[in-house]
C-alpha cells in the first residue's frame, strides 16, 4: 500500500491547508470597494502603523464585519460537519452515514426553527436536544441485538429525516411571513448572514465537541471493529457509542443551528480523507477538522465569487458532492468494503 506510506506527509499538509485558504479567501467577494488590490493595501497599512487613511474605513468594515466572520463561520461549520461525519461512520461501522443521512441534521434544524419561531428555548440547546433525539430515534430504530446493519440504519435515517422535515414544515406554516423567510433561507444551508455573534454561538459547542472527539479518536479504531470485538478487548459497546455520539451530535447540531442544512459534506469529505491518508482515526479526525473546514470555505468562495446574487452554499455543496461521490465510488473502494 503505497498511499499509506505517504499518509503522514498528506495529513500534515492537509492540516496546513485551512490557513492558506483563509488567507486567500479574504481577497474574494463581490464588493467593488474591497477589491483584491484594496484588501492588499489595507493589509500593508495594518502592518505599518500610522498610515491609516480615511478611505480604508469602508474596506476595513467589509473585511472585519462581513468577510472574516463568514470565512471563519464556514471554517467552523465545515470542520464540525466533517468531523461529525467521520466519527459517525467509524462508530456505526458504516461508511454511508453522515449527520444528514442519520436524520441528525433535520432534527437539529427542527429544534433550531422551533427556537427561532417560538422562542421556547435558546437556539443552541434546542438544536442539540432535537439533534440528539433524532440520532437516538434512528439508531434505536435500526439497532438489533447484534448491532446495526448498514441498510436498516440508512432506512431508519430516511424515516427520521422525513419525520423532522415534516415537523419543520409545520413550524414554517405557523410562522409569520417575516420569520418564515428567514427560516426557509436558513434551512437551505446559508452562510450569507454570518456574523461574529453566530460564530460565537457555534464556536463554543464545536470547540468542546471537537476536543472530546480528538481525545477519543484512537478509541474509534477499536470501536469500529464491531461489538463483540469491542467487548473482547474490554470496551462496553453501549457506553463507548454514547461517549462518541454525544460530541458528534453536539458539533453537527451547532453547525446546523447557525448555518442550516449544508448537505453531503459530512458524507463525502470523510471519504476523500480516508482515500488520501487511510482510515486510521488518529489522523482522520484532525484532518477532518482542518480539511473539512477548508473545503467549505473554498466552496463558499465559489458561491460568493461566481454569482452576484446569493446561491445558498448548501445547494452548492450538494451539487458538487454528487459527482465527487460518484467518482469515489467508481474509482476506488473508498476505504471500505460493502460485505
Partner 1 sequence: MAVIVDDVTFGYHQRPVLQNVSFEIDQGRLAILLGRNGSGKSTLIKIIAGLLSAVSGTIRVMGRELKVLRSAERAKTIGYLPQFHQPVFQYSVEDVVLTGRVAYIWNAPGHSDRQIAQRALQTVGIEHLRDRPYTELSGGERQLVMFARVLAQEPDIILLDEPVSHLDLANQIQLLTMLKRMTQAGCTVLAALHDPNIASRFGDQFIFLKNSRIASPPNREFPWDSDFLSSIYSVQLETIRSNGKPLIFPVLENTQLPPGPKGPPSIDLTPS
Point out which residues bind partner 1 (CB under 8 A).
1, 4-5, 90, 93-95, 215, 217-219, 221-222, 224-226, 228-229, 231-236, 274, 278-280, 282, 333, 335-337, 339
Please report how close the Cβ of residue 160 comes to partner 1 at its closest, in angstroms. 22
d(CA 60, CA 124): 30
Name the residue nearer to partner 1 (CB basis): 84 or 224. Answer: 224
Burial degree of 174 (CB within 10 A; 0-12, 13-18, 19+)? exposed
CB of 85 to partner 1, least distance (A): 14
d(CA 218, CA 148): 21
Please say which residue, 5 or 330, places its beta carbon nearer to partner 1: 5
Closer to partner 1 by CB, 185 or 282: give it. 282
CA dihedral over 162, 164, 165, 167, signed as positive or negative = positive
Residue among 33 and 228 whose Cβ is closer to partner 1 = 228
Any idea what DSSP says for residue 31?
-
Distance separating alpha carbons of residues 184 and 194, to the nearest angstrom: 16
Q: How far is the CB of 221 from partner 1 (least distance, A)?
A: 5
Q: CB of residue 280 vs partner 1: minimum separation in angstroms?
A: 5
Nearer to partner 1, 217 or 304 (CB): 217
Element (H, E) at 233: none
Question: Cβ 98 to partner 1, closest distance in Å?
Answer: 15
Identify the residue whose cell numbers are 461529525: 84
Judged by beta carbon, residue 27 or residue 336, the one nearer partner 1 is 336
Burial status of residue 145 (CB atoms within 10 A of its CB: 0-12, 13-18, 19 or more): exposed
In this structure, are residues 208 and 247 in contact, taking their beta carbons and an 8 Å threshold?
A: yes
How near is the Cβ of 225 to partner 1 at its closest, in Å?
Answer: 6
Amino acid at each position: 500500500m503505497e498511499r499509506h506510506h505517504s499518509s503522514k506527509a498528506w495529513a500534515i499538509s492537509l492540516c496546513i491547508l485551512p490557513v492558506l485558504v483563509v488567507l486567500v479567501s479574504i481577497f474574494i467577494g463581490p464588493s467593488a470597494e474591497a477589491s483584491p488590490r484594496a484588501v492588499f493595501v489595507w493589509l500593508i497599512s495594518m502592518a505599518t502603523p500610522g498610515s491609516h487613511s480615511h478611505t480604508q474605513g469602508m474596506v476595513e468594515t467589509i473585511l472585519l464585519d462581513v468577510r472574516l466572520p463568514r470565512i471563519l463561520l464556514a471554517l467552523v461549520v465545515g470542520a464540525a460537519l466533517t468531523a461529525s461525519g467521520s466519527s459517525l461512520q467509524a462508530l456505526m461501522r458504516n461508511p454511508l452515514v453522515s449527520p444528514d443521512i442519520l436524520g441528525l441534521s433535520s432534527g437539529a434544524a427542527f429544534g433550531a426553527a422551533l427556537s427561532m419561531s417560538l422562542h421556547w428555548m435558546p437556539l443552541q440547546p434546542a438544536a442539540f436536544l432535537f439533534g440528539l433525539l433524532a440520532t437516538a430515534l434512528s439508531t434505536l430504530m435500526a439497532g438489533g441485538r447484534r448491532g446495526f446493519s448498514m441498510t436498516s440504519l440508512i432506512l431508519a435515517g430516511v424515516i427520521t429525516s422525513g419525520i423532522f422535515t415534516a415537523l419543520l414544515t409545520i413550524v414554517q406554516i405557523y410562522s409569520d411571513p417575516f420569520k418564515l423567510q428567514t427560516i426557509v433561507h436558513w434551512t437551505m444551508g446559508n452562510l450569507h448572514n454570518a456574523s461574529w455573534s453566530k460564530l460565537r454561538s457555534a464556536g463554543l459547542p464545536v470547540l468542546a465537541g471537537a476536543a472530546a472527539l480528538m481525545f477519543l479518536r484512537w478509541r474509534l479504531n477499536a470501536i469500529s471493529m464491531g461489538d463483540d470485538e469491542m467487548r473482547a478487548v474490554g470496551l462496553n459497546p453501549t457506553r463507548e457509542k454514547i461517549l462518541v455520539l454525544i460530541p458528534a451530535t453536539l458539533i453537527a447540531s451547532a453547525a446546523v443551528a447557525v448555518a442550516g442544512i449544508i448537505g453531503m459534506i459530512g458524507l463525502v469529505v470523510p471519504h476523500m480523507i480516508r482515500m488520501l491518508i487511510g482510515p486510521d482515526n488518529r489522523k482522520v479526525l484532525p484532518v477532518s477538522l482542518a480539511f473539512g473546514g477548508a473545503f467549505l470555505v473554498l466552496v463558499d468562495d465559489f458561491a460568493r465569487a461566481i454569482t452576484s446574487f446569493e446561491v445558498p452554499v448548501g445547494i452548492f455543496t450538494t451539487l458538487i458532492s454528487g459527482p465527487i461521490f460518484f467518482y469515489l465510488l467508481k474509482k476506488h473502494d473508498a476505504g471500505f468494503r460493502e460485505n
